[in-house]
Amino acid sequence: MHRRSVLKGGLTAAGVASGIAASGVMSGAAPAFADRARSAAGAVETTSPPTPPVVRSSEELARRGVRFPTRPVPATALPITPNGTTYEMAQTLAWLDSEHFAVGRWDGSMTIFRFTTSNLTGPLISEAVNSPAFQGVRMLTPLGRRAIVTSNDDGSIALWVSPSGRWSDLRLAKTYAYDASLGVATGGQGVLAGSPGSLVVGHSTGHLSVWTYHPGRQRLSFLRSVDIRNPTPVNPWGLHDVYSVETVTDSNELARVVTGSEDGYVSVVEIPSGRILSQTVFNPRAQRGINHLSVRGDALLVANCSVGPDDHNLWYYSIDRTSWRITLRDKANLIVDGRRPQAFNFSTIWGAYSGGPCWFASTEEGALWMGTAGATLDIIGYREVTSPLGSALGWNDTPGRLVMVAYDLYEFTT
């Protein structure tokens, strides 16, 4: 594979690792999941696996009779009956340090990769583990001292640590139970504020849980829960999942985080007090909720699913640090085929390239979008990268690395 320009502005592909399998069969791979966790065959399934939001949205439109563009090659009928689907695509992604990032998937696996800049080799697996509850990894948050917190089941989160300080030695330290009425963890962020630090977790019920994190002892303590639900959700299912938690300000005494919810609320919350500073419906006319947020200084990007030709799936706001309210600057609809009734923006993230600061977004058409943002949003262009349904994105400033993960994993340098 040769290094090649993929977008106007100098974005360059650094490698592609395709066909990431649970067996870990890849150059530099860690042992199979079965060597690191008990067999999934012995696990008892207590709940049905959740449906990815992009699939749920498409199914709702189809039930309403909304037609999707016809595929170039019509499908043929087969004498078989569908009996279930396992989603192995990425659900969440986080950089752990300048060289390593972790990917959580719908099948309950978490894999740590080492970024490579070789033209011939894709990212290498450093470690692979399974969620103790064998449910999808919907939240993945790095903490200090080589620790990671992940979602587990409807009433617990899992803390992973490395005794040696190497990611290849990651081990499950403990699962921490909480009131199951909060629901499964769907988003998270670690901050300095607290004694000596805090973990903020978003839940499927529209609540936050705030935890004290003791990095020296690598221990979590539940502090409080915060109800940030929108009483009038923008989505047709009455969902409140808090998918995204991002830091706006942070110090040893006080932090402010901004959250994005399936019910349409953008909330700014003070940590560790849990005081709600502001709440705004990102789009009063929205038919779908918020999938992802990204913050850079006072600039906020919001990713959602647009429905219909007059909707938008990327929103650009400024955050007022006096009132903590958000003000709309601009919006855009990132869609390749304008005939599509929906355009799902799975993830958006601030980054940088040779021309200065920029943003990236991944959409359900398998496209990676890139643009800049000043007074307004400016779209540089897009590249068709992977299969439909959308991808998780992760950006690292040092030295300018972008990771895009759906089923396969793609690395880029800027």
The CATH number that applies at residue 205 is: 2.130.10.10
CA 120, 123, 125, 131 torsion: positive or negative? negative
Domain assignment of residue 63, yes or no: no
Which among 166, 176, 169, 165 has a CA at the least distance from the CA of 139?
176
In the block, tokens 């009131």 appear at 179
**Contact partners, residue 54, CB within 8 Å, separation at least 6:** 305, 344, 346, 364, 389, 390
Contact 194, 271 (CB under 8 A): yes
Domain range spanning residue 301? 5-37+89-413
Where are any strands of DSSP class E within 333-408?
A: 342-353, 356-363, 367-373, 377-384, 392-396, 401-405
- The reported pLDDT for the residue numbered 81 is 58
Interatomic CA distance for residues 39 and 29, integer angstroms: 19
Q: Cα-flanking dihedrals φ and ψ of residue 56, to 5°?
A: -60, -45
**Contact partners, residue 74, CB within 8 Å, separation at least 6:** none
- The reported pLDDT for the residue numbered 96 is 94
Domain assignment of residue 53, yes or no: no
In the block, tokens 């307004």 appear at 376
- The reported pLDDT for the residue numbered 218 is 85
Domain assignment of residue 70, yes or no: no
Domain assignment of residue 336, yes or no: yes
Interatomic CA distance for residues 145 and 77, integer angstroms: 54
Tens-digit pLDDT string for the chain (414 aa): 333 233 433 444 443 333 333 333 233 333 332 333 333 334 334 455 677 788 888 888 888 888 888 665 555 556 665 555 556 788 999 999 999 999 999 888 999 999 987 665 556 777 788 888 778 899 999 998 899 999 999 999 999 999 898 999 999 999 999 999 999 999 999 999 988 899 999 999 999 999 999 888 889 999 999 999 999 999 999 999 999 999 999 999 999 999 999 999 999 999 999 999 999 999 999 999 999 999 999 999 999 999 999 999 999 999 999 999 999 999 999 999 999 999 999 999 999 999 999 999 999 999 999 999 999 999 999 999 987 777 999 999 988 999 999 988 999 998
- The reported pLDDT for the residue numbered 33 is 28
Domain assignment of residue 262, yes or no: yes
- The reported pLDDT for the residue numbered 68 is 82
Beta bridge partner(s), residue 137: none
Q: How many domains does the chain have?
A: 1
Beta bridge partner(s), residue 296: 299
Domain assignment of residue 221, yes or no: yes
Interatomic CA distance for residues 189 and 199, integer angstroms: 6
Which among 175, 399, 391 has a CA at the least distance from the CA of 292?
391
Which among 273, 190, 256, 259 has a CA at the least distance from the CA of 230?
259
Q: In what order do the strands lie in the sheet with 100-105?
A: 90-95, 100-105, 109-114, 124-130
Which among 53, 105, 394 has a CA at the least distance from the CA of 241?
53
Domain assignment of residue 300, yes or no: yes
Is the backbone peptide bond immediately before 69 cis, with ω within 30 degrees of 0? no
Own/partner long-range contacts of 311-314 (Cβ < 8 Å, ≥24 apart) = 311/285, 311/286, 311/287, 311/343, 312/283, 313/343, 313/344, 313/345, 313/363, 314/345, 314/348, 314/361, 314/377
Domain assignment of residue 46, yes or no: no
